[in-house]
Each structure stands twice: as structure tokens, then as C-alpha cells.
């Protein structure tokens, strides 16, 4: 997940450790040193949803270009359960289409699309878990208190 904010005209991008680790394992993304250097040696259930801060313009540019498909926490935490389920259903249909293709049709772009769809599904499920209290994430201090309070499940009758 990512959170992007602007403070005093300066962009700040936050990405959770779990997302960065998944990025590490993809052959189609060349991971720069600045990412490798910021990952702690031990990542477990206690810290995998912690956000790392990126403030350098070249870091933000790289992450937005290569990882633009990461879910925006602020966008998704406000969705209702029904909206999230609808999106999961649509993503699942897209995955099914890819899975039914002939192997000869599969190329690097298709593999990347498959990975991104699969990643989005996992993170929408994570958002559901956050909304239902199964997971707790520590948001960066710069995210206002009103955003922190959005960790609660919205009523589907909204």
C-alpha cells in the first residue's frame, strides 16, 4: 500500500514493508539500492505493515513509475465492503482471462499484469481485514487523526 501526502509543498511517499518485499521478488522490477538499504533485517507480522518514508524526488519518481499499481490506502480504506467485493470480483475475472490463455500468448507484460492483479487482490483483502479489525496498521504520524479514524469499517448503507 502507498500513501502520498504533500507537506509545505514537499511530496512524501509512504510504502509499507510488505509491499516492498513483494516488489523485491519480482524479476520485472530492478530494485534500486535506496530500497534495499531501507528494509530492516527482520520483517514479521509485527512490522510488515509499517510504512517507510520516501522524500527524495528521484525515489518518489522511481516508485511511482515502477509501482504505480500499488493500492492507495487513502482511496481504499474509505470504500464500503460491497465496493471492495465488487472490485475483487472484477479483478478475479481478469485473472481468469489470463489463466485461460494459451501459454504461447504469455509474455512478460502479461506476467506483470497477472502479478499486479494478484497483488491488488491480496491488498484489497488486507484492507478488508483492517476495516474488520483483523489487522492493525500504524499510519505515519503525518497522516491526520481523521485519516487514522477511517480504519473502521464503513456501513454498507452509505
Per-residue model confidence (pLDDT) at position 54: 92
What kind and span of H or E run contains 5? strand 2-7
Query: The cell 509491499 sits on which residue?
Result: 19
121 close to 95: Cβ distance less than 8 angstroms: yes
pLDDT for 83: 95
What is the predicted pLDDT for the residue at 68? 79
pTM for this entry? 0.76
What's the pLDDT at 144? 62
The closest of 38, 57, 56, 55 to 47, measured between CA atoms, is: 38
Low-confidence ranges of the chain (pLDDT < 70): 25-29, 102-106, 144-158
Task: List residues bridging with 51 in a β-sheet.
Answer: 16
CA distances from 70 to 102, 103, 156 (A): 28, 27, 24
Alpha helices in 25-107 (DSSP H): 33-36, 57-66, 73-76, 81-99
Amino acid at each position: 500500500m502507498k500513501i502520498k501526502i504533500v507537506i509545505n509543498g514537499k511530496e512524501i511517499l509512504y510504502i509499507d514493508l510488505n509491499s516492498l518485499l513483494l516488489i523485491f521478488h519480482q524479476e520485472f522490477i530492478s530494485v534500486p539500492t535506496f530500497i534495499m538499504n531501507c528494509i530492516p533485517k527482520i520483517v514479521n507480522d509485527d512490522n510488515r505493515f509499517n510504512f517507510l518514508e520516501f522524500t527524495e524526488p528521484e525515489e518518489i519518481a522511481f516508485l511511482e513509475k515502477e509501482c504505480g499499481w500499488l493500492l492507495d490506502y487513502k482511496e481504499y480504506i474509505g470504500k464500503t465492503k460491497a465496493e471492495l467485493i465488487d472490485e475483487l470480483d472484477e479483478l478475479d475475472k481478469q485473472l481468469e482471462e489470463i489463466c485461460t490463455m494459451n501459454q504461447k500468448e504469455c509474455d512478460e507484460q502479461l506476467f506483470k499484469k497477472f502479478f499486479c492483479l494478484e497483488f491488488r487482490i491480496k491488498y484489497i483483502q488486507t484492507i478488508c481485514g483492517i476495516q474488520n479489525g483483523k489487522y492493525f496498521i500504524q499510519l505515519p504520524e503525518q497522516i491526520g487523526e481523521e485519516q487514522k479514524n477511517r480504519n473502521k469499517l464503513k456501513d454498507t448503507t452509505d
